[in-house]
Each structure stands twice: as structure tokens, then as C-alpha cells.
Structure 1
Amino acid sequence: MTEMKEITTEELLKKIEAGEQLELVDVREDDEVAQGIIPGAKHIRMGTIPENLDKFDKDKEYIMICRSGNRSGQVCRFMQEQGYQVTNMVGGMLEWEGETK
């Protein structure tokens, strides 16, 4: 089992501020996302990830986001098993201090 890659909210904020092109995926529920999502993140609810795998490209790396980092961690493990490159944002939106929209 490969170890799961992780990124902190601070590290992610630095990458965004540096203008890096990142693939961000927010796996929270609709009502949670309504309270604010990182600009540029795609919203694909955790429960719908399996049926949406065709929207992901195995050559790209995705940063998965949820409220605390738990659900996105589960999604990362699942997607890693399917051969996708994923990184979990540890601490989730609870620790996110950057911009939201």
C-alpha cells in the first residue's frame, strides 16, 4: 500500500499564491460548500466520486479537500487504489485561512 500524500492548508495557500495551476477537488456536501469553497476547486461530493472517476485524468495530481481531512483522506485512499495521483489536504476547511468564495 503506497503511503498517502498530504499537504497542509498553509502549503496549499503558498502554492495558490505562487500562481501554481492545481487540480483541487472539494468532496463535501452541498450545504457545506455553500458556506465557502476554495476558488477554482471543483465540487464532487464524496458519495459520487466512484461514478465520476472518468472526470479525472491519471496523469494529473489532484488535491482532495473536505471539512477536516477525514473524508478527503478516504477518497484519496480509494482513488489511489484506482491508480490516480491524489494528495489529501490535512486539516480541511476548518484550518483553511485563504480565500473562499
Structure 2
Amino acid sequence: MKEISVEELKQKIDNKEDFQLIDVRETFEYDTSNLNGENIPLGGILIEVDKIATDKPVIMQCRSGKRSAAAVMQLEQLHGFTNLYNLKGGILAWQAAFDPGMPVY
């Protein structure tokens, strides 16, 4: 599984690179704090597979990186995706590195 660090993600955002960010946490978690990605909870990721880009990098994120890793594995194994990256450490790592005031749980 390919992974990306929060520093690499920030660089992509700062450089205005073309990628899709998908947050696989539940809606109430997303509403607490998010990185402006698209919210597709893990439980519905296979149902909403048509919302996931195949023509550019897709970064999956969650709270700590575990659920997003599960999403990447499911999508790679069941749908043959090759453009997926897991955000190491999830939103907790982002908060620690860039936004200490961000509410997390």
C-alpha cells in the first residue's frame, strides 16, 4: 500500500496539485474537524466507488490512518485501483504538525 505523509499532503495542497482527498470517517467525525476532503464513510466506500477518481491521485484519510488503510486495501483488491494513497497518521498527525488548535477527539 502506498502512503503519504501529512507534510507531503500539505505540499500538494500548497502547490495546488490535482488530487482527490477522501475522508472515510463518519459524518459526525467529519463535522468536528476535516481537511476539506470529500466525506465518504468507510461503511459506504464500496457502494460509492463511482465517486472515486481513477485519473489522478486519491488520498484516503481518517482519524489515525487505520480506517483509510482498510479503504485503500478494499478498493485495490475489489476494484483494482492503483492510484490510492493512505494518509499516515490521519487527521491526528495533521493536527500535531500543522494545526494544534484543530478539535479532535
TM-score, normalised by the number of residues in structure 1: 0.86
- Structure with greater helix percent: 2
Do residues 44 (structure 1) and 40 (structure 2) align?
yes
Displacement of 1:75 after TM fit?
Answer: 0.3
Q: Does the 8 Å contact 1:76/1:88 carry over to 2?
A: yes
- Structure with greater strand percent: 1
Q: Which residue is 1:91 aligned to?
A: 89
Do residues 22 (structure 1) and 16 (structure 2) align?
no
State the alpha-carbon separation in 1 of the partners of residues 35 and 91 from structure 2.
9
Amino acid at match of 1:15: K
1:27-71 per-residue CA deviation (whole Å, 9 max, x = no partner) reads 0011111111112x1100000001101222333321000000000
State the alpha-carbon separation in 1 of the partners of residues 11 and 57 from structure 2.
17
State the alpha-carbon separation in 2 of the partners of residues 59 and 21 from structure 1.
10
Q: Does the 8 Å contact 1:58/1:83 carry over to 2?
A: no
Q: Which residue is 1:73 aligned to?
A: 69
Displaced runs of 4 or more, over 6 A: none
Q: Does the 8 Å contact 1:66/1:93 carry over to 2?
A: yes
- Structure 2: 5+ residue stretches without partners: none
Q: Does the 8 Å contact 2:18/2:56 carry over to 1?
A: no
Amino acid at match of 1:43: N
Displacement of 1:12 after TM fit?
Answer: 0.4
